[in-house]
Structure 1
Amino acid sequence: MREIVCNCQLVDRKTINKAIHEKNATTIEEIRRYTGANTGCGKCIGYINSILDLEVPKIVQKIENTTQNKFKLW
């Protein structure tokens, strides 16, 4: 069963997560661009923002871990 996030464009949670983790979409504008979500009535903006609040810190942590390993001075 798909968890629909945007009913107008039929965008599911998996598609939103894919945009966040594969395309580094971290803003509502980027989610709109990559998925088409939130380009209709706008009712899903709160849901999308809550997904971003949960998923973006995971990206930041992944980037921090990558750069820590990459730029060690000793």
Structure 2
Amino acid sequence: MRDIVCNCQMVDRKTIDKAIHEKSATTIEEIRRYTGANTGCGKCIGYINSILDTEVPKIAVKVENSPPSKFKLW
């Protein structure tokens, strides 16, 4: 059984998590762009925001613990 986040667009939790962790989507606007969620009635915005509140800090920890890049930008 899928955990549907957005009933209008049939977007599940796995799709939202994938957008956050693979595409670094950290805002509701980016979630809309990558998944289509929250582009219908808008009732799922609270659920999506709670997912972002839970998952985005995990990205920050992952970035902090990643090894430094060997390439310089300047």
One-letter amino acid of the structure 2 residue matched with residue 27 of structure 1: T
TM-score (norm 1): 0.90
CA-based RMSD? 0.9
Percentage identity across paired residues of the two chains: 83
One-letter amino acid of the structure 2 residue matched with residue 17 of structure 1: D
- Is 2:47 the counterpart of 1:25? no
Equivalent pairs, count: 69
Runs of 5+ consecutive residues of structure 1 not aligned to the other structure: none
Residue in structure 1 matched with residue 72 of structure 2 by the alignment? none
Residue in structure 1 matched with residue 59 of structure 2 by the alignment? 59
Q: Runs of at least 4 residues of structure 1 off by over 6 A?
A: none
CA distance in 2, matches of 1:31, 1:17: 10
TM-score (norm 2): 0.90
